[in-house]
């Protein structure tokens, strides 16, 4: 079974609109971390935001916020006031911490976001 | 700020050849991760090292091996290359390994390997 599910393969959004990228996850661990990365066409992986399973408040980083709903096992990324430079592939990822902090990340299939002027 | 350095950035090899990818983590980072991203795919975790010891193992083929050296840089050795090994290989580094409950992974720019 998929551990990370991103149901939107692609999205088109008008510039300046808010965007919500969906991510659901599956784990039996009590302690885990959820990450969002941005991958522009140039290929680098850019860290955007992190949410720990025990964090009670939703994470925010500038225009990025994470809508964390633990009971529903969802960790949606919200981008406010989208910009043309936000066009990229977005990956949701999870680290299950049962094995310790050096565990690798499990990624979703990604959402290709295109911002239109 | 210093970032993760990977070399080479591009590599072209023939089938059945060997390749070595190098990764230099951010200074003072003690944990290194390797990922493989095929064309149009999500990154797949291969292997990680903390304080020069293998920490976690993902979907790394038996033809691949890796190690972390005393200066914390890491090398991914790939033998008997196959066409399907063509991919972008990322190295990421973090601080703390088992000690940190967060340890954000900072990714390098990647090495693009093409096997002909």
Q: What is the DSSP string of A54-96?
A: T--SPPEETTEEEEEETTTTEEEEEESS--GGG-EEEEEEEEE
Q: Identify the CA nearest to A48 among candidates A21, A73, A77.
A: A77
pLDDT, one tens digit for every residue, chain A (117 residues): 679 999 999 999 999 999 999 999 999 988 889 999 999 999 999 999 999 898 889 999 999 999 999 999 999 999 999 999 999 999 999 988 765 556 889 999 999 999 999
The alpha carbon of residue B76 is apart from the nearest alpha carbon of chain A, in Å, by 16
Comparing A22-31, A61-70, B23-32, B92-101, the range with the smallest average pLDDT is B92-101
In degrees, to the nearest 5, what angle opens at C-alpha B33 toward C-alphas A32 and A89? 75
Q: Which residue of A has its CA nearest to B88?
A: A43
The alpha carbon of residue B7 is apart from the nearest alpha carbon of chain A, in Å, by 14
Comparing A29-38, A68-77, B8-17, B88-97, the range with the smallest average pLDDT is B88-97
Are the Cβ atoms of A105 and B96 closer than 8 angstroms?
A: no
Q: Do A21 and A112 meet the contact criterion of CB atoms below 8 Å apart? A: no
Are the Cβ atoms of B56 and A103 closer than 8 angstroms?
A: yes
């Amino acid at each position: 079974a998929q551990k990370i599910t991103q149901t939107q393969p692609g999205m088109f959004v008008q510039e300046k609109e808010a965007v919500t990228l969906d991510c659901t996850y599956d784990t039996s661990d009590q302690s885990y971390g959820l990450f969002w990365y941005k991958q522009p066409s140039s290929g680098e992986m850019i860290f955007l935001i992190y949410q720990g399973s025990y964090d009670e408040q939703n994470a925010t980083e500038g225009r990025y916020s994470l809508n964390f709903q633990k009971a529903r096992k969802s960790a949606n990324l919200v981008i406010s006031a989208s910009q043309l430079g936000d066009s990229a592939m977005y990956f949701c990822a999870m680290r299950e911490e049962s094995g310790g902090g050096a565990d690798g990340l499990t990624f979703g299939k990604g959402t290709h976001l295109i911002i239109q002027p | 700020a210093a970032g993760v350095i990977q070399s080479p950035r591009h590599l072209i090899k023939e089938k059945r050849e060997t390749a070595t990818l190098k990764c230099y983590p951010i200074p003072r980072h003690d944990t290194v991760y390797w990922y493989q991203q095929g064309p149009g795919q999500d990154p797949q975790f291969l292997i990680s090292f903390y304080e020069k010891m293998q920490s976690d193992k993902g979907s790394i083929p038996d033809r691949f091996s890796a190690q972390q050296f005393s200066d914390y840089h890491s090398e991914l050795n790939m033998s008997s290359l196959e066409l399907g090994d063509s991919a972008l290989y990322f190295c990421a580094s973090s601080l703390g390994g088992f000690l940190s409950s967060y340890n954000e992974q900072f990714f390098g720019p990647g090495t693009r390997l093409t096997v002909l």
